[in-house]
Structure 1
């Protein structure tokens, strides 16, 4: 395959290379990168070597590459790390100690409502916490997660109108994908101050979440807990979650 024309810049190609990695595929060869990105093998090898030299990729003795510590170091300078996560962490830990459940902080991610998702930027779990699909840096739909519904409830009606132009997908048989029903749940979350999901992302799991009041310079954010259906005490957990959201906003301010 001949080298690609210069219509696509080197930076765009490099970003495509970096985005070829995933939680399930954290180690890739240059040949893997070429196949996943559609780049010529010579281009993929050259870019992988350059990115490794810059610290954006780490090259291992077996010839495989992983995301580099240099890229991680730069990522830690993002406001969601330096400001939001660092200020939220003490309150997240207190919420975990009070609940013994998985605690998440997520932000609204996406250029437009039509492609918006919940991006998880903090997570605390323990030996008695229920397993979840979430991970730091992972993304999940807004309509099937507690933090996602809390983020939806914090948006204005014009934003929601644009959001509902997309086709919502089911993650489980309990996922709410009907616009009218989901709008009713959003209205309820606004009234109560917290949102819930029941087995909508993972069977057996219940999430209770609240939006963190807005902070200048940061994307919309929410904090929530995930517990098992059998011990989902909304009356006990919801006040804890809402208090954590207020405390995080206070420290950010």
Structure 2
């Protein structure tokens, strides 16, 4: 496939070679058929843009900026993917269903399918909350790497042991952490690389969700989170 722009076609060819494995400059030349000076010029220019990087042996590999762009593209599709799923989850359970995404030390409500009968904990789209407590915060933090876990736990009201339980079960629940009389249950939405990109949550009065919301609703929330991930 040709774009009609030679330098773009050469760049695309070079990137495609690195999709599955790293390669030395000689390997790039051999696999692309590009002249060595051309391959070197393109590879080093892409490296300066963080589109390529080099491993410990000096071989070229896809860079961190490509990964960030890929995650961003998937996350831009989160709301369209989640909207019908959360509407159905709300209708099945009778309580509010929401989609949350982590942004640094905060979690942001990306979409809310509000219960028609309960407005006790209404949250406008775009509202940000600290990651100190609640089922959503636990899910968004539980599968992070050790350094992120350490930083996230410094000011939290839950512990590393709590997050170990979340990873083991695949969901989190909380009662009272997000407001007096409010219970919630959350499960992770995963991208194609299996990384957690968001959380699906049910939230509502304890009188509806009970003090053990996971016992009644865990399967439904997990199924909804998986379906959102599949739709990305």
Give the direction of change, closer, same or farther, for the CA distance of 1:214–1:109 in structure 2 (3 Å limit). same
Distance 2:225 2:181 in 1: 25
TM-score of the two chains, using structure 2 as the length reference: 0.61
1:210 is matched with 187
User: Gaps (5+ residues) in structure 2?
Assistant: 1-71
CA contact (8 A) 1:108 1:219 kept: no
1:117 is matched with 106
Runs of 4+ residues deviating >4 angstroms: 78-82
Deviations 1:175-233 (A, max 9, x none): xx2xxx522211111111101111012000000000111346x9821000012212324
Question: How many equivalent pairs are there?
Answer: 157
Compare CA radii of gyration and give the structure with the larger one: 2
Distance 1:148 1:245 in 2: 15
Distance 2:196 2:169 in 1: 22
CA contact (8 A) 2:112 2:125 kept: yes
User: Gaps (5+ residues) in structure 1?
Assistant: 1-77, 111-115, 169-176
1:221 is matched with 198
Alignment of 1:182 onto 2:176: no
Alignment of 1:157 onto 2:134: no
TM-score of the two chains, using structure 1 as the length reference: 0.57
Alignment of 1:95 onto 2:93: no
Q: CA RMSD in A?
A: 2.2
Alignment of 1:107 onto 2:101: yes
1:247 is matched with 227
Distance 2:135 2:74 in 1: 19
